[in-house]
């Protein structure tokens, strides 16, 4: 399921932090808790487990602010537009789809951190079609994609540039792990990993690839920073895997607002 959520800006000229992903993620969890607390608690605390790893199979884009409707001021973005929007997508059981349909309706959100917040009112919830795929698709990231590996000291992650030599291998490892995980929970169909064709091609040049450093849990003892990248890429893979990545997201930390994509025509 893919939704486009449109907000009315209730206080034009107010500012929000450039790193707002964690706050949107927390809001989504709260909404799910309001409509189905056992499901939301389970999703937050456990998710779908595979080999000791837990995945929350949803993602969302950056905010879409009309051109000329904002001004960057340091680590803040002043919103002057009347309306802004974002996309959010979920890969869930059929039984949960009905719960998700109405949970955004008429909701209000104060988006921001301890330094500044902006009040938003949901005015429209649009269910978007999941694209139909062949065996290849071109994508553009709608939020930074994160592919990481453990540093040698094992205490922190190294965030890989899309043109790094091992980026593709770790990209496929992450995607196959999540997909296998979804198969085990009857959320998608099985694949023949040995026989099917899998290929990743980065379409953006080095100069076109944009790095974004996002702060998670700002102004708390748990504050961390995650680096992701914005770029275009092509995937050759079975249709079900292309559809899966489009809905559940590519790379790590998707439920924190990373790895959301749109299909390039």
Summarize pLDDT for 107-156 with one digit per residue, the tens.
999 999 989 999 999 999 998 999 999 989 999 999 999 999 876 666 67
Total number of domains in the chain: 2
- In this prediction, residue 30 has a pLDDT band, given cuts at 50, 70 and 90, of confident
pTM reported for the whole predicted model: 0.89
Tokens in use for 44?
A: 């937050």
pLDDT for the residue 103: 83
3-class secondary structure per residue, 184-244: HCCCCCCCCCCCCCCEEEECCCCCCCEEEEEEECCCCCCCEEEEEEECEEEEECCHHHHHH
Q: At what angle do helices 167-184 and 239-248 cross, to 10 degrees?
A: 90
Residue 47 predicted with pLDDT over 60: no
- Choosing from 96, 128, 160, the residue where a domain stops is 128
Residues of the domain holding 183: 136-263
Same structural domain, 153 and 122: no
pLDDT of residue 39: 55
Query: What is the model's pLDDT at position 154?
Result: 61
Residue that terminates a domain, selected from 98, 128, 158: 128
Q: Using an 8 Å Cβ cutoff, are 209 and 230 in contact? A: yes
Last residue of a domain, one of 128, 151, 177: 128
Residue 186 binned pLDDT confidence (cut-offs 50, 70, 90): confident
Residue 11 is classified by DSSP as: S
| pLDDT tens for each residue of 206-217 | 999 999 999 998
User: Which pLDDT band holds residue 250 (cuts at 50, 70, 90)?
Assistant: very high
In this structure, the answer to whether residues 118 and 145 fall within a common structural domain is: no
How sure is the predictor about 54, in pLDDT bands with cuts at 50, 70 and 90?
Answer: very low
């Amino acid at each position: 399921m893919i939704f486009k959520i449109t907000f009315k800006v209730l206080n034009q000229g107010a500012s929000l932090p450039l790193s707002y992903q964690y706050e949107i993620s927390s809001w989504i969890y709260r909404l799910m808790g309001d409509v189905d607390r056992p499901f939301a608690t389970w999703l937050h605390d456990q998710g779908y487990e595979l080999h000791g790893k837990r995945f929350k199979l949803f993602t969302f884009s950056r905010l879409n602010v009309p051109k000329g409707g904002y001004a960057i001021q340091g680590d803040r973005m002043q919103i002057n537009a009347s309306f802004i929007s974002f996309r959010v997508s979920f890969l869930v059981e059929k039984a949960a789809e009905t719960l998700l349909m109405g949970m955004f309706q008429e909701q209000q959100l104060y988006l921001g951190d301890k330094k500044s917040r902006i009040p938003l009112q949901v005015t429209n919830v649009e269910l978007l079609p999941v694209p139909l795929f062949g065996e290849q698709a071109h994508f553009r990231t709608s939020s930074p994609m994160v592919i990481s590996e453990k540093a040698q000291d094992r205490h922190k992650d190294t965030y890989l540039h899309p043109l790094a030599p091992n980026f593709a291998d770790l990209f496929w490892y992450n995607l196959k792990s999540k997909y296998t995980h979804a198969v085990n929970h009857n959320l998608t169909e099985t694949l023949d990993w040995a026989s099917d064709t899998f290929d990743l091609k980065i379409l953006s040049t080095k100069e076109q690839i944009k790095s974004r450093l996002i702060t998670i849990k700002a102004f708390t003892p748990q504050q961390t920073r995650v680096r992701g990248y914005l770029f275009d890429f092509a995937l050759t893979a079975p249709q079900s895997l292309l559809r899966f990545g489009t809905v559940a997201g590519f790379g790590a930390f998707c439920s924190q607002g990373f790895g959301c994509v749109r299909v390039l025509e």
